Amino acid sequence: MEHLPLFISIEQRPCLVVGGGAVAARKARLLLSRGARLTVVAPELCSELEQQLPEFEWQQAPFAEAHLDGQFLVVTATDSAEVNAQVYQLANRRGILVNKADDSKRSAVIFPSVVERFPLQVALSTGGKAPWLARLLRARIDALLPSHWGALAEVAGRLRQRVKNTLGSSDERRRFWARAQDDNTLNAFLKHGNLAAAERWLQQEVQQPSKGEVILVGAGPGDPDLLTVKALNELQKAEVVLYDQLVSDEILALIRPEAERISVGKKAGNHSVPQDQINQLLVDHALTGKRVVRLKGGDPFMFGRGAEELQTLVEAGIRYQVVPGITAAAGATAYAGIPLTHRDHAQSAVFITGHCKKDGEEPDWASLASGRQTLVIYMGLMRSAHIQQRLLEHGLSAATPVALIERGTTAQQKVVRGQLNALSELATRVESPALMVIGSVASLADSLAWFNTGADNLEAPLERAG
């Protein structure tokens, strides 16, 4: 790293801008906004700088070394490479902080891109190598950062010592602020600028005993970029995370490093942790006052037993939230180029699971075998032969297109396609987790596939029916 990230106060410090053009005006505006005692040296000023007079002192002259006397920070932004180099060399020799606009190699300090919610500031820099990338990241962070977080930081600063005195451990304080940041009442006060009410609310809450909470989070189908913003926020605040086998390593890497991680991964026919034990783990950790994230692949309410886990929390009197995720039926099919509906192919989509309770009733195969719909089957690999047989018996054409999507949306995505009469054979060519898609829309992957296309996306030789 060529530069050390620092935040430096320049309030009432003497600063100098050399140059009178548009770049100099931009730097002057920034320095003035931070309270600098600014001098601008230039024979002429652009209209923007003229409009800022008399906020700064204007030395109407060419640059001379004497202009550096007593300066804390110097910015050189002239059209002359010779003058810019002279300013840099003289300021550097005197030990004055110097910035040469658009030239990081000749700058002791550089100005980062900044996202601001006063007093909250987020600074981004690429060391002058790719300013466009810093601007892109700034725009993304600006869109994600709630507008009232500056007010939250202001109120938190007022109460920081009181919270520290009341809550002895850093874990208790972090838990308190995480709970406060989520509270609808507090956020309403902050959004309306009622800082006094927000402060009173926090003073009352800090006296309350710490309450545990469970957040049921959908991790999506695998691609970490498909996480919702709220899901990512919860991973960064969690103290304990119970996660399933389907959650990718890339998503696990986003969990707060200090959080305790507990794998409760399950596969069909091989439950490493029984469901009742998972339920009890959620209760036990929440009762200690911790913020617990239950991280499940896809969407927690789509064949994921999320509701069963919440029922346990309700019985135990534990607070909870639910953060939906993109389910595999939507994510994996989109990445395979298979629309769930299409007016020329399917007017509806039906989601079912191929993995039922041992005493579970059979689905309505006659209804599932009806035409002009898309059938999406979760966890169906082990029962592929049974699914194939029952659909054929109830009249679905043997030539119906099918697709099996293994590890959809990830770099390991593999798509195998063929016809219904070859479904059981196709299932031997993929591994769990895999999604089964049956219907005319599967044929559209020929023209619509866009992600990870290549040797791993295979179409089986079609065994024609009849």
DSSP secondary structure string, 332-355?
Answer: HHHHTT--S-BTTTBS-EEEEES-
Catalytic residue among 27, 244, 296, 414: 244
Three-class secondary structure of residue 31 per DSSP: helix
Residues in CB range of 263: below 8 A, 6 or more apart:
243, 245, 272, 273
> Long-range pairs for 58-64 at CB < 8 Å and ≥24 separation?
63/18, 63/87
Three-class secondary structure of residue 260 per DSSP: strand
Whether the CB-CB separation of 309 and 282 falls below 8 Å is answered with: yes
Per the listing, tokens 């783990």 go with: 281
Catalytic residue among 103, 142, 183, 266: 266
Q: Angle at Cα 382 formed by Cα 425 and Cα 305, nearest 5°?
A: 145
Question: Would you call 244 a catalytic residue per the annotation?
Answer: yes
- b/e for 160-199, b at 16 or more Cβ within 10 A? eeebeeebeeeeebbbbbbbbbbeeebbebbeeeeeebbb
Q: From the CB of residue 6, how many other CB atoms can be counted at a distance below 10 Å?
A: 7
Question: What's at 49, amino acid-wise?
Answer: L
Whether the CB-CB separation of 241 and 259 falls below 8 Å is answered with: yes
Three-class secondary structure of residue 301 per DSSP: coil
Half-sphere exposure for 413 (CA within 13 Å, toward CB)? 26
Residues in CB range of 229: below 8 A, 6 or more apart:
144
- Cα–Cα distance measured from residue 222 to residue 331, given in angstroms and rounded to the nearest whole number: 9
Three-class secondary structure of residue 419 per DSSP: strand
> What secondary structure letter does DSSP report for 236?
H
Question: Would you call 446 a catalytic residue per the annotation?
Answer: no
**Which tokens is 154 given?**
């202001």
Residues with a known catalytic role: 244, 266
